[in-house]
Structure 1
């Protein structure tokens, strides 16, 4: 099995939200993600969305959509996602300015990273830091 080499991420966390539109607003406005695509049903429910941060992406959907993934995730708790950013302090300031709940302020870690931790409006925990694992070789 080999990893992707075409610029597309090979791993994308996928999160479901009761209010996916609000989640997309918070992730883009407060946490610096870029909206790649949003697909809605005729009644305005977010069926699938893709947001980018650096060379990674996260996929977003709505709880209660009736999809197979929605059924598989029924009863699942919040998730934790780690995102690499260049300037942790600037990223943190932006999150604070938008009222994001901060769980840990920017902190220098023993393993050489500087990171902070936040909780989104539906309980998912997002860590943003400078540490980037080396993959491939």
Structure 2
């Protein structure tokens, strides 16, 4: 769903900071499949980057600066990303040599998912579970 000005509809965006933000962007785009929508850089420093997930949502990230008010320690995040075809994505990241923490498997709660670790140490889980229906819908 998009708004009339062609911007994505409001949603939740995770934010990350990285010791090597350019390297994390490269990893997420070229090995996982995110789309780089914006990257505001000065040399090796990333002030802000937006990476869209082709199936909806995305992440924002930048270079780690412990002196900023909005500062989070790199490598400590855990993300869950919805994909309609976790098996194809699993093959893609496996073939790209990504660090797989948990092989793809069916879960007792009805999901099929796998988990990877990015170069910063963050964990990313991918599966087709889209959440439970909202009450009353």
Instruction: Using structure 2 for the length normalisation, give the TM-score.
Output: 0.85
Aligned position for 1:35: 36
Deviation at 1:51, TM superposition (A): 0.5
- Pick aligned residue for 2:121 from 110, 123, 136: 123
Is 2:75–2:120's contact at 8 Å kept on the other side of the alignment? no
Deviation at 1:57, TM superposition (A): 1.1
Aligned position for 1:78: 76
Deviation at 1:96, TM superposition (A): 1.2
Where has structure 1 moved over 6 Å in runs of 4 or more? none
RMSD: 2.1
Aligned position for 1:111: 109
Deviation at 1:64, TM superposition (A): 2.3
Aligned position for 1:50: 50
Deviation at 1:93, TM superposition (A): 1.0
Deviation at 1:44, TM superposition (A): 3.7
Q: How many pairs does the alignment contain?
A: 130
Where does structure 2 lack aligned partners over 5 or more consecutive residues?
A: none
Deviation at 1:95, TM superposition (A): 0.7
Instruction: Using structure 1 for the length normalisation, give the TM-score.
Output: 0.85
CA gap of 1:34–1:132, structure 2 versus 1, over 3 A, is: same
Say which SS state the counterpart of residue 68 (structure 1) adopts: coil
Say which SS state the counterpart of residue 93 (structure 2) adopts: helix
